[in-house]
Amino acid sequence: MTLPLLNRKLVLETAVRTPDRAGGYGIAWRPLGTLWAEIKAGSGTARGANGLELSRVPLRITVRAAPVGSEARPAAGQRFREGARVYAILAVTERDTLARFLTCHAEEEVVA
């Protein structure tokens, strides 16, 4: 196995419910920490909806592994932020048999 090139600095964020002062709630994103990652893109798709064109690109984001249950271990439903770019985490798997790295299957959505 070739070692990944962890050359991208990403902030791992988790969703937090916040009251909206009208009896409901909104979602805010709380940073959990910074991880170094390798990002590899798959082939993208585009589709139209409500007068907007939405492009989707599947990504494989590799990070160093963290123990199960650790706040530093990415999970589905969380996201990575890289400046203004946001990558939603869809699933997380172990990349190698020694569990040294995790592969996060993610998607970046950009409204054009």
More confident residue, 99 or 112: 99
In one letter, which amino acid is 11?
V
CATH number of 8-111: 2.40.10.270
Per-position b or e across 79-92, b if 16+ CB within 10 A of its CB: bbeeeeebbbbeeb
pTM to 2 decimals? 0.83
- The answer on pLDDT for 49 being more than 70 is no
pLDDT level of residue 53 (50, 70, 90 thresholds): low
Report the distance separating Cα 88 and Cα 78, nearest Å: 6
Quick one: average pLDDT of 15-24?
A: 88
- The answer on pLDDT for 112 being more than 60 is no
Give tens-digit pLDDT for 32-48. Answer: 999 999 999 987 667 76
